[in-house]
């Protein structure tokens, strides 16, 4: 089915020009990434980026429906990236924000549903609206090693490094680094045990 033609037809008959223009733009961005990186991204993913070269996506990566991905830079900088290793699965309804910091996800990772990975925080000086302040430059980005399993509804904050083979239990909030081959859980996430 030609989805772009379908959306244009709906737009014509229902006078929903602004909404459908955004849908078509997002669809084209998804198609461009799929073509360039030979990966599988559901057409219902919302992707916003400044430059397609700010992505590095390995073969056989899957990104599920209704996920939201932002790879945007402040001003004219082009230093924020999203890097995903081959054979990594990213489930539905995830929120990945490589804005103000690079997010690296290793190969053969399993990321469940409703996970948020946040690349940077805003500064919050008094007297200036927070939304008008720049992203923090220190402690930015997230690095996730290979063979990591991230459970449903996990929140991963900026500046965190997760070692190879780690397991993050569902509902955890990760605010500090996680060692290799460990299982962590809780709010904030704490060491539970080593993988056997």
- The full length of the chain comes to 196
Q: Which one of the listed residues 8, 44, 46, 122 is annotated catalytic?
A: 122
Please enumerate in sequence order all residues whose Cβ is within 8 A of that of 135, keeping only pairs 6 or more positions apart, or say none.
74, 99, 100, 101, 120, 121, 122, 123
- Neighbouring C-beta atoms of residue 126, cutoff 10 Å: 4
* DSSP states along 72-139: --STT-----EEE-TT-EE-SS-EEE-SSS-EEE-TT-EE-SS-EEE---B---TTS-GGGSPBPSTT
- Distances in whole angstroms, Cα of residue 38 to Cα of each of 54, 62, 87, 103, 176: 16, 10, 11, 20, 33
Q: From 164, 158, 125, select the one nearest 144 (Cα to Cα).
A: 164
122 flagged as catalytic: yes
Instruction: Give catalytic residues, as residue numbers.
Output: 122
């Amino acid at each position: 089915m030609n989805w772009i033609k379908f959306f244009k037809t709906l737009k014509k008959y229902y006078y929903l020009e602004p909404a459908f223009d955004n849908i078509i733009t997002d669809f084209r961005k998804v198609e461009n990434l799929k073509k360039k990186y030979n990966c599988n991204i559901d057409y219902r993913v919302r992707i916003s980026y400044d430059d397609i070269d700010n992505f590095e996506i390995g073969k056989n990566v899957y990104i599920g429906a209704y996920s939201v991905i932002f790879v945007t830079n402040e001003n004219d900088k082009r230093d924020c990236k999203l890097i995903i290793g081959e054979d990594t699965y990213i489930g539905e309804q995830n929120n990945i924000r490589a804005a103000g910091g690079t997010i690296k996800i290793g190969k053969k990772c399993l990321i469940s549903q409703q996970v948020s990975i946040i690349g940077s925080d805003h500064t919050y000086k008094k007297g200036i609206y927070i939304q008008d302040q720049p992203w923090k430059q220190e402690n930015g980005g997230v690095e996730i090693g290979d063979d990591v399993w991230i459970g449903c509804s996990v929140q991963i904050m900026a500046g965190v490094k997760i070692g190879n083979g780690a397991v993050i239990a569902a509902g955890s909030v990760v605010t500090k680094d996680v060692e290799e081959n460990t299982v962590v859980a809780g709010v904030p996430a704490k060491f539970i045990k080593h993988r056997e």
